[in-house]
Amino acid sequence: MSATDTPANLPTPDAATQRSPWGEVLHSLLRSGTFLTGLGIVLFWIVCALFGEHFVPYDPLADDIINALAPPSAEHWFGTDQIGRDVFSRVIVGSRDILTVAPLATILATIAGTALGLVIGYFRGIVDDIVSRILEAFMAIPVVIIALLAIVALGTSKITVIVVIGLSFAPIIARTVRSAVLAERELDYVAAAKLRHEGALHTMFVEILPNVIPPILVETTVRLGYAIFAVATLSFMGFGIQPPSPDWGLSISSNYGMIGGGFWWTVLFDALAISSLVIGVNLVADGVHGAFND
């Protein structure tokens, strides 16, 4: 056998260079203080949502009119609200609804936005021109207005909130995906797919999609932060999650009239809870962004 016929050798694997791209991202995530802090906060609220009701001192829904509007004390750490419900218990359990509605809305936005972004980025031309203008027009309307219109028309329910927030965030994700696809479609592997007579669906979803996952993932985590905020806003306005849920936005809305009377504890702890969750998600988003762009 001549030397020409000997197969080329695989270079000796090297631990540092052989890690898969996803392994590398995970590795840098686990070394990122930002990400770990954010993850800690988010996990805390997830645990509260899942198991909170088993360890809170009081039933978050049980009223106790005699003890209404009691200030924070050893008995009621965060005080009680106007019908005597324990604020601490309500804050801990209050993450349950927002942590189902906001992520579901974000997932909906990601799926719809990714599909839309792939199509307009891949076909470009007239499709892109028309769809992009529509998306821009859509993005110009504030989420709250769209939500109000939809809820008036469809009635209040968690599903409505999910659909409304999901659809109003979809154009933003579509725009991010579109720009990633525009860069990707110029690469030669896309031409190679054309030279195999691959269909557009295969090229978009099998060839291009796996390569644009990183920006989608970053955009999704950023959107989750906004979604939490949007859900809380809608609840506050009375158009989202309905009583008697101990939801934070809802609690603030039903208690903020009390601040004037000096009963700050009925609002402050819910507000802090919302902020901490949004900050936590944003820290995670920062960490993910950093890990993909190092």
Partner 1 sequence: MTDRNALELNDLSVAYRVGRRNRAVLRNVSFKIGRGEAYGLVGESGCGKSTAALAVVRYLPRNGSITGGSIALDGQDVMKLDAEALRRARAESVSMVYQDPGKALNPSLRIGRQLTEIFELAGMSGQAASDKAIAMLNLVRISDPASVMQRYPHQLSGGMQQRVAIAMALANDPSMLILDEPTTGLDATVEAEVLDLIAQLRRELSASILFISHNLAVVSNMCDRVGVLYAGMLVEEGSTKDVFNDPRHPYTVALLRCLPRGGQRKDQGRLDTIPGFLPGIGATIVGCAFADRCALATERCRSEPPPLYELGGGRLSRCHYHDKAQSLPRATPAEIAAVAPKQAPPVLQVEGLNKTYASHGRALRAVKDVSVSLRPGETLGLVGESGSGKTTFARLLLGLVPPDEGGSIELEGKQLAPRLASRSEEQVKAVQIVFQNPDSALNRSHSIRHILSRALKRLGGLTGKSLETRLEELVRSVRLTDRHLAVKPRQLSGGLKQRVAIARAFAGDPRIVVCDEPTSALDVSVQAAILNLLADLQSKQDVSYIFISHDLGVVRYLSDKIAVLYLGRIMEFGPSEAVFSGPHHPYTEALLSAVPKLDRTESSRIRLDGEIPSAANPPTGCVFHTRCPRKIGAICETQEPELSEAEPGHTIRCHIPFAELARLQKPRAVEPA
Q: Please give the residue ranges that form the binding site for partner 1 (CB under 8 A).
A: 2-12, 14-18, 20-21, 187-189, 191-192, 194-198, 207, 210-211
- Rounded Cα distance between 136 and 192, Å, is 33
Of the pair 18, 73, the CB lying nearest partner 1 is at 18
Whole-angstrom distance, CA of residue 246 vs CA of residue 89: 9
Can you tell me the distance from the alpha carbon of 217 to that of 286, in angstroms, rounded to the nearest whole number? 11
Q: What angle do CA 106, 110, 114 make, to 5 degrees?
A: 170
Find out whether 231 and 168 touch, Cβ atoms under 8 Å. no
Under DSSP, the state recorded for 203 is I
In the complex, what is the shortest distance from the CB of residue 60 to partner 1, in angstroms, rounded to a whole number?
46
To partner 1, the closest distance from the beta carbon of 126 in angstroms equals 17
Q: Shortest approach of partner 1 to residue 182 CB, angstroms? A: 15
Residue 197: what residue type? H
Cβ nearer to partner 1, comparing 97 with 207: 207
Would you say the C-alpha torsion 39, 40, 45, 49 has a positive or negative sign? positive
Instruction: Report in angstroms how near the CB of residue 122 gets to partner 1 at its nearest.
Output: 15
| Residue 43 or 213 having the CB closest to partner 1 | 213
Whether 240 contacts 161, CB under 8 Å: yes
State which residue, 141 or 192, has the beta carbon closest to partner 1: 192
Question: Which of 29/143 has CB closer to partner 1?
Answer: 29
Closest approach, Cβ 138 to partner 1, in A, equals 31
Nearest Cα residue to 239 out of 224, 249, 248? 249
On the CB side of 182, CA atoms within 13 Å amount to 12
Respond yes or no on whether the N-terminal peptide bond of residue 244 is cis (omega within 30° of 0).
yes
Cα-atom radius of gyration of the chain, to the nearest Å?
24
Nearer to partner 1, 210 or 262 (CB): 210
- Residue pair 100/46 in contact (Cβ under 8 Å)? The answer is no
Between 134 and 200, name the residue whose CB sits nearer to partner 1: 200
Please report how close the Cβ of residue 180 comes to partner 1 at its closest, in angstroms.
13
Least distance between partner 1 and beta carbon 28 (Å): 12
